[in-house]
Amino acid sequence: MKKLEHDLLTDKYTEVWHGKDFKFNAPHTFSVLTKETFPDEDGVGEHVELLQKVHFQEGPIKEYGVNGVANEDLIAMVISRLEHFNQSEFRCRENSMAITKLEEALLWLRKRTMGREKRGVEGTHTK
């Protein structure tokens, strides 16, 4: 596994890791770990625990069947969470902006799928 690094990602409470060896041009398995530090007899100890594992679709559906989560599924989950926060006392502009941008991401992914459907290659390993 390899730690996911990004300028905007913090590892203050959790770390995200992904597989190093993968097919189909991108990692398919991600693990989210929590790390807790605590004092121990040697100074500071650390406890690491797997919070969740996410396995994305591996290969085209028509060739490999449905075997994992789609990018769109995960984006839709985050949109739902933020919409629910925005129906509570935690409503904020930042949540609203994030929802808008995530919906925009879904639109672009849908446009890509529509183009692949139009070309008759959706769900296959063909460009």
* pLDDT, tens only, 57-103: 999 998 999 999 999 999 999 999 999 999 999 999 999 999 999 99
The predicted pLDDT at position 39 comes to 73
Query: In this structure, what are the phi and psi dihedrals at residue 72, rounded to the nearest 5 degrees?
Result: -65, -35
Spatial neighbors of 106 by CB under 8 A, at least 6 apart, are 72, 75, 76, 79
Q: How confident is the model at residue 54 (pLDDT cuts 50, 70, 90)?
A: very high
* pTM score, whole prediction: 0.84
Type and span of the H or E element at 27: none
Spatial neighbors of 60 by CB under 8 A, at least 6 apart, are 123, 124, 125
State pLDDT tens for residues 91-111.
999 999 999 999 999 999 999
Domain ranges of the chain: 1-69, 71-116
Task: Summarize the chain as % helix, strand, coil (round to 5).
Answer: 35, 25, 35
Q: How confident is the model at residue 124 (pLDDT cuts 50, 70, 90)?
A: confident
Which residues does residue 32 pair with via DSSP β-bridges, in sequence order?
A: 16, 52
At 38 the three-state DSSP class reads: strand
Cβ atoms 47, 19 nearer than 8 A: no
